[in-house]
Chains A and B, each alone.
Chain A
Amino acid sequence: MAEIKCVDLCKTYQQGDAIIKALDHVTLQIEQGAFICLSGPSGSGKTTLLNMIGGLDALDSGEISIDGERVDLLEKGALADLRLHHIGFVFQSYNLIPVLSARENVEFVMQVQGVSAAERRNKSMAILEEVGLEGMEERRPSQLSGGQQQRVAVARAIVSQPKLVLADEPTANLDSVSAKHLMELFVELNQNHRVTFLISTHDERVMRYARRLVRMRDGKVVSDEVQISN
């Protein structure tokens, strides 16, 4: 886990009378342990591609396989299992559960995985400290700033050490110091634990960490470059 193959992906959305091609025959191969940034203007299809790979939405056509298993053919329960055990999500708009504290949000995935309460607590406290939220563990999302919420979302995504992290604009609400710290954390997980990262971003500073930069526009991949400066 996690070699990803996307073949001829197509996805259209209807907005009123207009049909929008979110993905237009996208083909992409992501090797295990990759650190890839998807860049492109808004509406270029970055988020849609992440959602498709994570099985959050259904394709119109095309094939996605992770380690040889066709994700697009999995049913809902199997997709949920795949996400639970192998994929970590960082959403653009944090998507924390408002009634849970920061620690409980981080623990949520582990709880569904069946991890013991003590282990959950230890891991969640450690990861929250790592993302700079020490002392804020029991705060609700409404009591945290946008940047702090984003860090909770990141902590939730990586706490159970998934093989693949899909991050949608993870630094969008972070100051430059926090963003740098987060990206260094991603790099550390990628290099030491072979976690595959697929990050959509506008942020040039984030792109500099990527070993491979995929540019998208109007639902198409317009360039796919290997960066050697990482």
Chain B
Amino acid sequence: MTALMRGMVDQMIEDGIDALPGYVQVHHPDYRDDPNIENSLSPPGPRLLEALGSPPAEAWARRVKVPAMVSSERNNRGVTLLGVDPQPEIALGFDPASIVAGRFLESPSDQGLVVGRKLLERLETDLGKRVVIMSQGPDNTIADRGFRIVGVFEGKLSAQEENLVYAAIGTTQELLGMDEQISEIAITGGDYRDVNVLHDQVKRAAGDRLEVLSWTELDTYLGLMLGVMDGFVLVWVIVIFLALSFGLVNTLMMAVFERVREFGLMQALGMKPASILYQVLLEAIMLLTLGLLLGNALAVMSILPIRDGIDLSVVAEGIEMMGASSMLYPALKAKDLLMANAVVIVLGILTSLLPAWRASRYRPVEAIAKT
């Protein structure tokens, strides 16, 4: 259960990061409030380039990202125009396999346009046809240009398919009159859960005049999900175990009551009450360990048949509203397994204390007399 929930949240986060994209982004300080070309930044200088080329940074891409209007002969839609350098964009996370018709952009000066499948439907146009992109140019002029649709992509989230259009960065800069200016630099590398190292490295190189944000700051909902999920797993394990602990206490109490005579005899023969307490605790720990071994094996075995994912496409729209895709991949993490095991051991020992204490408090002569 935890693995499925963890898998869903991981996927939501990973899809969310793919949509950003990157673990860290560099912007003009005012860009996020007003994403127009006025709030653009210069291409990275030598210092920033060095940071972008050093681990944990693995890939980075310059991007132009502005609001725009796309018009076909039948319809028009507000979209986000992405001017990208194709190869770095692929390295950053764009999956060429998501192109379901036509091709992706081939060079920074490619004249084509790649749109999402749903947008294509909304515009009531088709691959190979021309559309007009219109956005705000320098000095508040209107910048527009006709593009031929050269590719159609399928996004993990329907919002991506409907809202994003990809054009080559050089072509976009030319359209918007931005020269070499860009809207953002997106960077990936390392573990997205431990993004601080990458963030700090880029932040130091970018200086104070640029805004450097990690994915947890760029999408606070996603960042919160990660924290909430960790807390949720702990609470979930504790709640489940507390319910089960009644069974454990009951089993141990019964085991103690059935062996009252034996414990009395052990004391009569010279075993200290503390040793009896330790013995019962040890038995409880052995019981817990055996249970955990079996439980862990069962957990792994139950995950194996569904490791290739569960197809939830019948409820895809509802799931996508939460930001998750229609394939649910379970994620059985060592951290979750260890935490569950630790919670069970700690709470198990705590709940064993009462039966163990009872066993150690019998008076030998009374305990031996019990039948």
**Nearest Cβ in chain A — how far from B154, in angstroms?**
66
Assess the A109–B270 pair: CB atoms within 8 A.
yes
CA gap between A77 and B266 in the complex, in Å: 12
- When C-beta atoms are compared, the residue in chain A nearest to B274 turns out to be A77
Residues of B within 8 A of A81 (CB): 270, 272
**Nearest Cβ in chain B — how far from A174, in angstroms?**
21
A18 adjacent to chain B (CB < 8 Å): no
**Nearest Cβ in chain A — how far from B366, in angstroms?**
8
A145 adjacent to chain B (CB < 8 Å): no
A208 adjacent to chain B (CB < 8 Å): no
Residues of B within 8 A of A109 (CB): 269-270
CA gap between A108 and B263 in the complex, in Å: 13
Q: Is the interface of B mostly helix, strand, loop or mixed?
A: helix
Assess the B268–A112 pair: CB atoms within 8 A.
no
CA gap between A41 and B75 in the complex, in Å: 112
Known: A57-B365, A97-B262. A84 touches B273 (CB 8 A): no
A33 adjacent to chain B (CB < 8 Å): no
CA gap between A57 and B365 in the complex, in Å: 6
Assess the A56–B268 pair: CB atoms within 8 A.
yes
CA gap between A98 and B266 in the complex, in Å: 12
B351 adjacent to chain A (CB < 8 Å): no
B269 is contacted by which of A51, A98, A108 (Cβ under 8 Å)? Answer: A108
Assess the B269–A54 pair: CB atoms within 8 A.
no
B108 adjacent to chain A (CB < 8 Å): no
Assess the B365–A112 pair: CB atoms within 8 A.
no
Q: Could you tell me how many residues of chain B have their Cβ less than 8 Å away from some Cβ of chain A?
A: 18
The number of residue pairs between A and B whose CB atoms lie closer than 8 Å in the complex comes to 56
Interface string of A68-80 (1 = CB under 8 A from B): 0000000011001
Residues of B within 8 A of A56 (CB): 268, 363-365, 368
A35 adjacent to chain B (CB < 8 Å): no
Q: Could you tell me how many residues of chain A have their Cβ less than 8 Å away from some Cβ of chain B?
A: 24
- When C-beta atoms are compared, the residue in chain A nearest to B276 turns out to be A80
**Nearest Cβ in chain A — how far from B280, in angstroms?**
15
A80 is contacted by which of B265, B270, B366 (Cβ under 8 Å)? Answer: B270
Residues of B within 8 A of A57 (CB): 363-366
A83 adjacent to chain B (CB < 8 Å): yes
Assess the A76–B272 pair: CB atoms within 8 A.
yes
Assess the A80–B368 pair: CB atoms within 8 A.
no
CA gap between A56 and B367 in the complex, in Å: 10
Assess the A77–B273 pair: CB atoms within 8 A.
yes
B310 adjacent to chain A (CB < 8 Å): no
Residues of A within 8 A of B267 (CB): 76, 80
CA gap between A87 and B267 in the complex, in Å: 12
Interface string of B342-365 (1 = CB under 8 A from A): 000000000000000000000111
Known: A56-B364, A56-B365, A57-B363. A112 touches B273 (CB 8 A): no
Known: A77-B274, A97-B262, A112-B275. A84 touches B364 (CB 8 A): no
- When C-beta atoms are compared, the residue in chain B nearest to A97 turns out to be B262
B224 adjacent to chain A (CB < 8 Å): no
B268 is contacted by which of A85, A95, A113 (Cβ under 8 Å)? Answer: A95
B282 adjacent to chain A (CB < 8 Å): no
B272 is contacted by which of A51, A80, A97 (Cβ under 8 Å)? Answer: A80
**Nearest Cβ in chain A — how far from B365, in angstroms?**
4
CA gap between A83 and B368 in the complex, in Å: 15
- Can you list 30 A-B pairs with a CB-CB distance of less than 8 A? A51-B365, A54-B268, A56-B364, A56-B368, A57-B363, A57-B364, A57-B366, A76-B273, A77-B274, A80-B267, A80-B271, A80-B273, A81-B270, A82-B270, A83-B268, A83-B269, A84-B269, A84-B270, A87-B270, A89-B268, A89-B269, A91-B368, A95-B368, A97-B262, A97-B265, A109-B269, A109-B270, A112-B270, A113-B270, A156-B269
Known: A57-B366, A77-B272. 10 other contacts (CB 8 A): A51-B365, A57-B364, A76-B267, A80-B272, A85-B270, A89-B269, A91-B268, A95-B368, A97-B266, A98-B262
Q: Contact residues of B with A, CB < 8 Å?
A: 261-262, 265-275, 363-366, 368
Q: Which 8 A-B pairs have the closest CB atoms?
A: A84-B270, A57-B365, A83-B270, A56-B365, A80-B272, A56-B364, A77-B272, A95-B265
